[in-house]
Structure 1
Amino acid sequence: MKKFIRSFIIILPIVMVKSLFAFDGEMTLGGKNIDVHGFISQGYLHSDGNNVFADTEDGTFQFNEAGLNFSTDVTDRLRIGLQLFSRDLGDLSNNEIQLDWAYGDYRWRDWVGFRAGKIKIPYGFYNETRDIDLLRTSVFLPASIYYEGERDIVNALQGVGVYGDLALKWVGSLSYQFQWGQQKVFEDGSTAKYEADQEQTTVAAIEEIDLGDIYTFSVEWETPIPGLRFKEFFMTSDRSLEIRIVEENSEDEEYDSALSSRRTEDIETVILSGEYNWNAITVATEYATSQKGKEGYYASLSYRVNDWIECGLYYSVYYPYKDDKDGSELEAQGRSAHQAWQKEWVLTSRFDINDHWIWKIEGHFINGTGQILSDDNPEGLDENSYLLAVKTTYHF
């Protein structure tokens, strides 16, 4: 019931705004035109082999999103805006209403502008727009790069940014972004759940997550070949985890407390991206690696059949320990070898009912459990599993 109430609180304003103001996506307040946009989605997940974030083996409707954003031009060069966002994916987020992003954007020249506030991180090609279901074919972005379990740590930072576009004449154009800031990561959020799950020999709880200063830099090259672009993204931060490790079946609080530890890590992530759009076809690939030893990549293809049908396919590969891709070291620790990788073939279809309403259906064929949580599968992990995802989204 609480989840329903939280969803209703954010969905009701969207419906009211749509009905009262937003046939054209605008409203007027104090003489200012305010752009108003939003979306509501509801999905269904069903799996065989393993639970994926939720009790998906029995089928679940705990998969929904809602957002409402406002933006306006204060002057010719200054624009402000914010978005409220809520989602539910099994135990993740539970329809808590969040300030997804909120910032002021001052565009001084084409080649330089400034942002301050809660700023979306340009992580890969699609992180800044991953909440906009309208802009992609698939239900889920490839997990090797855009893993839902670490969404809260790559979504946005609170700080400042500099960006701009540079025309290079006959060799295309460059867009760049530099950001500096910090993050608030909740101890009961998706990242905390993922980190706790990595403590395989014991039950672990994350008491505290501290993030130091975060720096990001990205540069995107629009080539002179129409539809072809490349991007490089770099992020570095210091992360400190206070971990309370609880032995299974232990009731000795003093003993458990003695097992607590603090782990400090320097995290550096690099993502290389490429995309080509040609008529109704889009081909994309991205590769990510981190100082922690993670590695992931995917290749995708989508085709717009007609105005109301689009089909897609991608193959995604992820290694949590790129120096142990066959899992031999994990087996020596008493863990399953298939936790050293996750490889997915994903087929998806999208149906545009009208300009505001879409449906999607998607099948995942998964080998390996590198990103499937043991906590969601207390009876053990199967090497192979399948996931069906159905989702409908209304947006304006």
Structure 2
Amino acid sequence: MTAIRTFISLAAGFAAVLMLCGAGVCRAGGIDLPDNLRVHGFAAQGFVQSDHNNFFGDSEDGSWDFYELGINALWRPTGKLKLALQLTMREAGATDDGDLRVDYGFVDYTLFSTDAVSGGVRLGRVVNPLGFYNDTRDIAATRPSIFLPQSIYFDIHRNFALSSDGVHFYYERGADSGDYLFQFGVFEPRTQDPDFEPAIFLEEVPGNLEGATSWMGRFVYEYDFGRVRLGLTASEVNVDYEPGGFDPLAAGEFHFRPLILSVQYNAERWGLTTEVARRTSQLDGFGDFADAEFTGTNYFIQGTYRPRPGWELLLRYDELIWDNDDKNGRRFEATRGLPHYSRFAKDWTIGVRWDITRHVMLRAEWHQVDGTAWLSTLENPVPRDTRRHWDLFAFSAAVRF
């Protein structure tokens, strides 16, 4: 896979260079944006306060360690060829360090296109086709809330979930009965999230996790211009472990297999969304580290209401269970010595959004949580010091152009 990874990296870099040239940076005389180039940017600053437990910084004392900055571009040099790139700086407490990174950068080539049917291929770092919200989770204004439902979309592993390096094929068909969209990709996952390793091994280890060949597919059906939406996502994400010096672990493999059913109804002023995921996690090898396999069922139910233009209210219940055979975590606590409530999280959320203008948004939300299954171990290094029942308040101000 080394040659494939190198080729994909070159493709993403080539996309970036071509877009810069298309924007006029490669020409003398300054920047001259052509009609076939779109450039957008966004920024958001958040504040997080919790009565117990830390999330996105030292939130028990109130944390401003949550901001997002980004710029993206889409260039169409020909009718069939598109190039897309997004650069982002994001800080989220100990789970994201604010370094500049490429969220996505890919070449998109249309293989066929008619009035009703189109299909093509994307090569490079591509956004993962995961559920309803992963495509739009990178920009604050396009998310349904400050924090996505954590049962499906982990924020502490945001880079791992958002995009991956590989090749994706897509097919879209419009008909009187509705619109049909299908995407399938073969890729290597990104494993650079600081909290990814402790989440697998329950502690930091000397070796390194490297993405291995994986796949993901999603089918979406939309009726009446999105009034009704149905989706199904299936994937197998594979990660290899390479031991480090004086490592008690042998080389091993981590396998993650989510299956997600998504349903949404949108009316003029209100909407309902639910997504249900059945996820299997498997550890193979690792020497004395016991092999393990467990399956959890997770879901959220979310309602939104728009009382007047520019305002939106949100109510959501979100539940995460790591192991269906140990839902209350008591067996985990007996064998691992860690709190049983770290194996589940049940979250009630209420929120409000105010679009001051088309480009400026304010948002606030309050979470009442039972369990700590989606907390970062980097920000909460002593699990016994965490509290099972805790509240979290978040505020965000965002702009986009």
Instruction: Compute the TM-score of the two structures, normalised by the length of structure 2.
Output: 0.83
Partner of 2:135: 128
Partner of 2:205: 205
What percent identity do the matched residue pairs reach?
27
Partner of 2:311: 309
- Change over 3 Å in CA distance of 1:215–1:59 after alignment to 2: same
Q: What does the per-residue CA deviation read over 1:91-122, in whole Å, with 9 as the maximum and x for residues that have no partner?
A: 12211100111112122223311111111001
Point out 4+ residue stretches in structure 1 off by more than 6 angstroms. none
Aligned-partner Cα distance in 2 for 1:331–1:71 = 49
CA positional deviation for 1:42: 0.4
Aligned-partner Cα distance in 2 for 1:151–1:102 = 17
1:178 aligns with 2:184: yes
Aligned CA-pair RMSD: 2.2
SS in 2 for 1:364: strand
1:73 aligns with 2:92: no
Partner of 2:94: 91
1:52 aligns with 2:55: yes
Aligned-partner Cα distance in 1 for 2:320–2:206 = 24
Partner of 1:194: 199
1:118 aligns with 2:125: yes
Partner of 1:383: 388
Partner of 1:232: 232
Residue pair 1:176, 1:217 contacting (<8 A) in 2 also: yes
Partner of 2:291: none
CA positional deviation for 1:340: 2.1
Q: What does the per-residue CA deviation read over 1:246-295, in whole Å, with 9 as the maximum and x for residues that have no partner?
A: xxxxxxxx9xx252333313322111101110111111000112221233
Aligned-partner Cα distance in 1 for 2:156–2:62 = 19
Partner of 1:41: 44
SS in 2 for 1:97: strand
Q: What does the per-residue CA deviation read over 1:70-102, in whole Å, with 9 as the maximum and x for residues that have no partner?
A: 111111121112010111010122111001111
CA positional deviation for 1:335: 2.5
- Change over 3 Å in CA distance of 1:76–1:45 after alignment to 2: same
Aligned-partner Cα distance in 2 for 1:335–1:184 = 28
Residue pair 1:206, 1:242 contacting (<8 A) in 2 also: no
Residue pair 1:80, 1:104 contacting (<8 A) in 2 also: yes
Q: Which shifted more, 343-352 or 292-301?
A: 292-301
Count of matched residue positions in the alignment of Structure 1 and Structure 2? 353
Partner of 1:17: none
Aligned-partner Cα distance in 1 for 2:154–2:169 = 27
Instruction: Compute the TM-score of the two structures, normalised by the length of structure 1.
Output: 0.84
Residue pair 2:205, 2:247 contacting (<8 A) in 1 also: no
Residue pair 1:150, 1:194 contacting (<8 A) in 2 also: no
Residue pair 2:42, 2:398 contacting (<8 A) in 1 also: yes
Partner of 1:15: none
Aligned-partner Cα distance in 2 for 1:243–1:142 = 34
Q: Counterpart amino acid of 1:288?
A: A
Residue pair 2:56, 2:65 contacting (<8 A) in 1 also: no
Aligned-partner Cα distance in 1 for 2:366–2:275 = 21
SS in 1 for 2:375: coil
Partner of 2:285: none
Residue pair 1:362, 1:389 contacting (<8 A) in 2 also: yes
Partner of 2:274: 285
Gaps spanning 5+ residues in structure 1: where? 1-20, 22-26, 245-253
Residue pair 2:279, 2:297 contacting (<8 A) in 1 also: yes
SS in 2 for 1:338: helix
Partner of 2:104: 101
Residue pair 2:229, 2:263 contacting (<8 A) in 1 also: yes
Residue pair 2:207, 2:242 contacting (<8 A) in 1 also: yes
Partner of 2:6: none
